[in-house]
Amino acid sequence: MTTRSQRTSYRDIRDEIARRIGDQVWKPGSLIPGEEALTVEFGAARATVNRALQELARAGLIERKRKVGTRVSLNPVREARFIIPLVSQEIEASGMTYAYRLLSRAERRASRADTLRLEVEPGSVILHVKCLHLADGEPYQFEDRLINAAAAPLALDEPFQAIGPNEWLVASAPFSRGEFSFLADRPSSEEADCLKIKTDAPVFVGERRTWLLARPITFVRMVHPQSHRMTSTL
């Protein structure tokens, strides 16, 4: 039997207040009762009411100011977060078996085209790795990566035979700044080949650049077949 405690939980209060906002009992822009009043109404301690309100404020539903009070936000939530998963975890999290295959690995001097992607000086030593991530044996993601050797010298000693460059970098090279973009595209013929799709099939592409302070670390293009869906919750 589940005899729930009869003390009012901050969750109950949070949800009830959210309900009132949703039902427009408290309209956007209007002040809601102060903590003291809510304390009385819900028969809870102020700390409890406060916790409920703080969560709602963090979620962007209300805005609070000392001495002024708490008001319902006029235009709530305007940003969401998405997690940056490791492919292997993403795959295993959905109950499939992960496999990794190195396609090519080359050290070379940065070409003109490379400098557009990685922002290094032409001629800098870079590492170019291509690999494939598979879920239950099926191609899941084609990864094309440039690594700035100056920023991650240990990468030159890593064969990337058994471990993907992403996993390696996560453990060895933290970054302080990142730029992500997502787009729909058609695959190159190499990408289509590796992913076992036709060249006119749409692909979902994520591109990411990361820096540690001003120093570029890596550029990666991740190509998924059409079936891929990137989801995030708020």
Partner DNA sequence: ACAATCAATTTGTATATACATAACCATGAA
Partner DNA sequence: TTCATGGTTATGTATATACAAATTGATTGT
Footprint of DNA (CB under 7 A)? 4-5, 7-11, 34-36, 43-48, 50-51, 53-54, 57, 64-70
Residue 140 interacting with a copy of itself (CB under 8 A): no
- Which residues touch 166 (CB under 8 Å, ≥6 apart)? 86, 87, 143, 145, 220
Cβ proximity to DNA: between 50 and 124 the closer is: 50
Cβ proximity to a copy of itself: between 97 and 172 the closer is: 172
Chain mean position to CA 195: 23
Residue 80 interacting with a copy of itself (CB under 8 A): yes
Taking the complex as a whole, how short is the minimal distance between the CB of residue 34 and DNA, in angstroms?
Answer: 3
Residue 186 interacting with a copy of itself (CB under 8 A): yes
Cβ proximity to a copy of itself: between 113 and 234 the closer is: 234
Closest C-alpha to 148, from 187, 179, 97, 107: 107
Chain mean position to CA 107: 29
> Terminal CA-to-CA distance of the chain, rounded, Å?
33
Query: How many residues in the chain?
Result: 234
**Contact yes or no for 132/222 (Cβ under 8 A):** no
Cβ proximity to a copy of itself: between 40 and 84 the closer is: 84
Tell me the three-class secondary structure of 167-216, residue by residue: HHHHHHCCCCEEEEEEEEECCCHHHHHHHCCCCCCCEEEEEEEEEECCEE
The torsion of the CA quartet 198, 200, 201, 204, rounded to 10 degrees, works out to 120
Closest C-alpha to 129, from 162, 109, 104, 101: 104
Cβ proximity to a copy of itself: between 106 and 234 the closer is: 234
Of 2, 3, 5, 231, the one binding a copy of itself by CB under 8 A: 231
Q: Scan residues 10-69 and list those touching a copy of itself (CB under 8 A).
A: 15, 18-19, 21-22, 28, 59-61
Taking the complex as a whole, how short is the minimal distance between the CB of residue 177 and a copy of itself, in angstroms?
Answer: 6
Structure tokens at 191: 């990408």
Cβ proximity to a copy of itself: between 20 and 108 the closer is: 20
Binding residues for a copy of itself, rule: CB under 8 A, are 15, 18-19, 21-22, 28, 59-61, 72-84, 86, 89, 151, 170-186, 200, 202-205, 212-213, 215, 224, 226, 228-234
